[in-house]
Structure 1
Amino acid sequence: MTITPPALSVFQTLESEVRSYCRGWPAVFDRAQGSYLHDEDGHTYLDFFAGAGSLNYGHNNPVLKRALIDYLERDGITHGLDMATAAKRAFLESFENVVLRPRDLPYKVMFPGPTGTNAVEAALKLARKVKGREAIVSFTNAFHGMSLGSLAVTGNAFKRAGAGIPLVHGTPMPFDNYFDGQVPDFLWFERLLEDQGSGLNKPAAVIVETVQGEGGINVARPEWLRALKDLCERQDMLLIVDDIQMGCGRTGGFFSFEEAGITPDIVTLSKSISGYGLPMSLCLFRAELDIWEPGEHNGTFRGNNPAFVTAAAALNTYWTDGQMEKQTLARGEQVERALLAIVDEEGGQGLSFRGRGLVWGIEFDDHSRAGRICSRAFELGLLLETSGPESEVVKLLPPLTVSPDELDEGLRILARAVRETA
């Protein structure tokens, strides 16, 4: 595919230099449907990015689109703050009946604002309020958002530096396998908690991703997560699972922690909870933690009613019969076989892969190669991004609704891009 970069335009002359994705994908996108995007010059791209995980059901999913159009055409409420609306009621009933009750999850639902970092800020604020302590423990290579509280529990040095002020009240601990299995799990963490001279203030909570997406597709073992939950209970700390990118079915089950058999105290959801790419987030927590005063945490755009409509449609379409989880796990096996073939073709040297469900990453010893692969994949019609602290991982995040043929198409392009950048 020959791609002519867009001429100097309003994007370069007016938009801030902070823009990033458009630099790796120099095209002006115009339409999208299912697993594909189309630019205004007629080029087609297979999407293995899925809106950074906000489009688990693909672009302009026809079922969700129909529900949204019908709602708008009848002049349904679009902006409602935290007022009671028919759309919110329908979502809450669906969420309780389809997600919470079948999993025996004892959660209250809070709408903290439209983005993932809003949900994380609410979770941290609530944990501190409940426990009366300031410290929060996070993990190496974590990513939890770009607002100040979320940045304080994020590991990436580049992103942290953008805060411009000290990021306080967060303490990092080693994520699963950080020491390549040479150190027992939580040895350092427990020692600090029990040593009155360690200088570690008693934490209110621990926040963790079961799979670190931006951190490099680092997958926590179920037994590590169970041990972390046990540690939190013994040490009177709340466990917060950030499921913003890995929830809504990305790893198989609706929640990424289901495989480990744990029940976190607090869970954050965003990205694909609306199902349609509409801004929406949730903060879920055990009922006894609901000590908020009315209006103590609010936001103008926490009541995105069109998002409630598409979210309810997504739940009732994809999560009532268990088929989505089975399909995602089957597609994951398809990806795993293809990545194994890529590693074998490279002689098993210089790269490795890991993942769960439909989130996978290939890490390269030559850290610059991942970026070159993504650039070549774009030229061949495939959207991929890098992740990891040095952008050393090629990240695969296709829609959960991707077909086997579409998945094969993208994996063939990936293999070619790897081959051509050797």
Structure 2
Amino acid sequence: MVDMNRLDSADADFTRRLANLQHDGGTADADILQTVQQIIEDVRVRGDAAVVELTNRFDRRDAQSMADLELGREALDAALARLSAAERGALEHAAERLADYAQRQKLDSWSYRDADGSLLGQQVTPLDRVGLYVPGGKAAYPSSVLMNAIPAKVAGVDELVMVVPMPGGEVTDLVLAAAAIAGVDRVFAIGGAQAVAALAFGTESVPAVDKIVGPGNSYVATAKRLVYGVVGIDMIAGPSEILVVCDGATDPDWIALDLFSQAEHDEEAQAILVSWDGDFLDRVAAAIDRLLPEQERRDIIGASLAARGALIRVRDLDEAVAVANRIAPEHLELSVDDPESVAPRIRHAGAIFLGRHTPEAFGDYCAGPNHVLPTSRTARFSSPLGVYDFQKRTSLLGCSPEGAARLAPTAATLARGERLAAHAESAEARLPGTET
């Protein structure tokens, strides 16, 4: 039996208890921070030699050089060939849907001319090179490969460099096959903070990238924090989250399984159900107790639900929406009769899943939208990973003589107000009659 947190919005301590459930995004442990700083500096100074030594130490490898740690295209194609027809079909189907969705996200350059004939606009260009971190070893995350690589390729990124740790030389065919399908250009069997550092600073073998994307453990997350500014990063992801708002008319077993789908990630994951039907909350609690023993990862699910899960009773749909916006979840399921009328009222969520037949699991693998989403309430100010994360915007400005004459006095006046005389003189030099 799982002793989940039970909250009621009518209780005097509701706000405090809700706040206590929420994850603060976390900061790096002091020991982890020190270790990662040392690794980054070692890789920055010694390049390939440091990466090889660290990989041999942490991943139980016996590499003599980086040549032993790079996987060529033939290795990716061989992994793809070894898949079953069902596995290959699933990867290709997911990739097709992701690419179709991503194509609609592309930003295009634009420009216009004002009344003076001056040109103003925005030029959109893809990043030159992106690094993709993929967790490896016995864990298999082909979905992470597709979700990160496909929007980068749709954006037009010239070169995509993937790093994936292979402890003991192990990696699943699904991960390498996904890289083949997504069009990854180079793959290195390295991981941890040393892989992040190699991508950020470059080594003799690993090219320096412009941005690093992809999930990882606390060492990887800390490394991404530390190299930000040298390179761009996607986000610092916290534990996975799901919030389900239900009117009580969905099968309780479905909701229980939806909560399990996030709780099984790890003990820090969070699964919350909000409803104004108290009897329904009880039925879901009973379904959780009945179904949990059948789950392969039941110990992790049970620990997650007991520590950070919650069944929350609210007064009505309006209050449920308010709670959802307060929590700003990574994943939000609106398991109600008319979800499309409720969705516009949600201001803060990484992704919204509409209706009773749209489990979050579809979004994790193959629906189309990206599964790289803001966590730990960062949905208040950030967005899902998309094509736009692999594109840059450059402003365009080209003044006609008439436009320069109109802008110069304004620019000069404001510049002198800021005591920047050279700015003012530069602007006024474009006035008619000032040519030398």
TM-score range, shorter chain: under 0.3
Q: Greater CA radius of gyration, 1 or 2?
A: 2
Name which structure has the greater RCO, CA cutoff 8 Å, separation 6+. 1
TM-score (norm 1): 0.26
